[in-house]
Structure 1
């Protein structure tokens, strides 16, 4: 095989791997949206057992449905909120949680099986093997964290812990972002020089801030904090509302005080928007004709749109549709921010090719 043929083979392998990772990314996007719907419909505690294999099969008879409902009747959510729920009402919340778990299993298979095939056939570059194995391990950890989250709502509370919910959501987004990072590194990049030495680092800071903001959004969701104080720009009649630090110790307010959690989510959103605006202006001033500058404009537009969606969701008192649009748009912004950041580093170097006889 000639060097040219080897180079073509590397290019084809990279395209195949990128297509696979792109499909996995879309599947994770769908998984997060279904997870959001499961949360918004209060369906997450409807399945009270963790059966990774057997749980793929839903109840198939009336007796099995009654068994599932009886298990649900044992937990505080049923006893304190949904007492008297009919079987048809239970089926509605059960199917949401079942679909979420089934999709999670599907994502695991969608990642693991092609990884094995690509690995055995020699289509995975050496530099990618450890990162991809790490992503597989994170996926397994995410499944455990999902069940760890559910268990928090089965004994002495009517909902899952906001700490565990935010952790579950954030890890999903970290996996999502990491896959995009790897995939973007396999794609052709522009040869434009960065606007400045630190512009790539600042793009990375923005991506990290988005992950933090998603974590804060998870806390908001876990406390149902978006259902209160549905005005903007004022919150509880002021720009800085009172009683933000009423709990002791003070740090607990940022995780357990619904007012403080929502206020923190708002303020951090302003900081994130300003950081994106600063990045765009800097890129446009220093290197207006580069792809880096053009991407910074797109990122700012996406961030502004997400802010508008967030405000609308709040003012409308968090209807399911708007809440899911807000969550989905957060993933879109994160994906673009990570791809933008990765572009500053350029494409992964090609593996060394040896000249062999054709």
Structure 2
């Protein structure tokens, strides 16, 4: 067996590369998580329109002199948000909202560097397995698209509006979370998996359905944030004294209510939360029945716990009238739940098989 040593060495090289790449992707995930939180704070503090120009390169450098600060403030004074809501804002007050938006854009650029530079190095040195080259390159492209979507969102609030479009904000948030989820998927595939058999195809599909529904729920949460719909009703479990409140379909045509009616958007978001809670509970019970003691079962229990915590946080956000701290916790925990749900789903598929050009001959 003359090639046994070479084969073992090649397999060890692949394991080492995978370990390094998991650390790299974990760092990127932490950066994206921070980016989502800062983006949420930017929205909640009404800071997102403070920078009225898109300067992908030059914009890294903030104003460094009094004259530059005055120039930025003057640009802000030209848009409806200043003229109709913040007229008379002082320079010191402007700096507060400017720094939130600047930090959000700086983090976004940082994520691009954290992902793109190591990826190019890994590709150039042959450290990326063939099956992952196009998926990772696709993620790089999605990151660039996310930057363009971010500006597309901001641009919607610079003319004829005092805030950004809820459609575009929800798209921006969902795309960020989709990128986050895809990275979790790849990172989990690079990690060792347990040898526990999959209890049933139904559980595998249920895990996928949960991950998909959580992403949809995040989109609905983006609509809630964009419309300030969390303030449409601040009681639970009833809304304005009823489980199905009046005024859900007052806009014509009817479909617009699901995107533009604050009460309807919050109602649908609540229903989405109930559906996810019920599905996570069913998935946990089915996992215990069919795969008790397996790693798949343990993950299902943890996932239900995470979903329950998120539901409780959401209730607190509603009844306390959307304080910034609780709203940010709700958004951040949603990303945690999504990440774990995707990792749980990925666990049913097993680790990526090792690719090696070395065969074992007798």
Partner of residue 288, structure 1: 292
Say yes or no: does 1:118 pair with 2:122: yes
Q: How much does 1:352 deviate?
A: 2.7
1:159 matches 2:201: no
Q: Within 2, Cα distance between the matches of 1:243 and 1:316?
A: 22
Contact 2:10–2:356 under 8 Å retained in 1: no
Aligned to 1:265: 269
What pairs with 1:139-218 in structure 2 (closer than 5 Å)? Answer: 139-218=143-222
Equivalent-residue separation in structure 2 for 1:254 and 1:218 (angstroms): 12
Equivalent residue number for residue 27 of structure 2? 23
How many angstroms apart in 2 are the aligned matches of 1:355 and 1:181?
Answer: 29
Q: Distance in 1 between matches of 2:226 and 2:328?
A: 15
**Aligned equivalents of 1:177 and 1:311: distance in 2?**
25
Conservation of the 8 A alpha-carbon contact between 2:11 and 2:356: no
Q: Which runs of 4+ in 1 moved over 3 A?
A: none
Q: Tell me the alpha carbon deviations over residues 269-290 of structure 1, each in whole angstroms, 9 at most, x when there is no partner.
A: 0001000000000010111111
In structure 2, the residue matched to 1:274 is 278
In structure 2, the partner of 1:90 is 94
C-alpha offsets along residues 144-164 of structure 1, whole Å, 9 cap, x if unaligned? 000000000000000000000
Deviation string 1:190-233 (CA, Å, 9 cap, x unpaired) is 11112212211110000000000000000000000012211100
What is the aligned counterpart of 2:244 among 232, 236, 240?
A: 240
TM-score by length of 2: 0.97
Are 1:135 and 2:160 matched, yes or no? Answer: no
Q: How does 1:301-316 map to 2 (within 5 A)?
A: 301-316=305-320
Q: In the aligned structure 1, how far is the partner of 2:298 from the partner of 2:240?
A: 39
| Residues 1:80 and 2:94 aligned together | no
Alpha-carbon distance in 2 for matches of 1:84, 1:197 = 62
User: Aligned pair count?
Assistant: 357
Which residue of the partner structure matches residue 14 of structure 1? 18
Could you give the per-residue CA deviations for residues 217-251 of structure 1, whole angstroms, max 9, x where no partner exists? 00000000012211100101111101101111110
Residues 7 and 353, structure 1, Cα contact 8 Å, conserved in 2: no
Deviations 1:112-157 (A, max 9, x none): 0000111111110000000000000000000000000000000000
State which of 66, 69, 84 in structure 1 corresponds to 2:70.
66
Give distance in 1, aligned partners of 2:138 and 2:18: 19
What residue number does 1:354 align with? Answer: 358
Deviations 1:16-62 (A, max 9, x none): 11110010011000000000000000000000000000001111111
- Cα deviation, residue 356, structure 1: 9.5
Query: Which stretches in structure 1 are left out of the alignment for 5+ residues?
Result: none
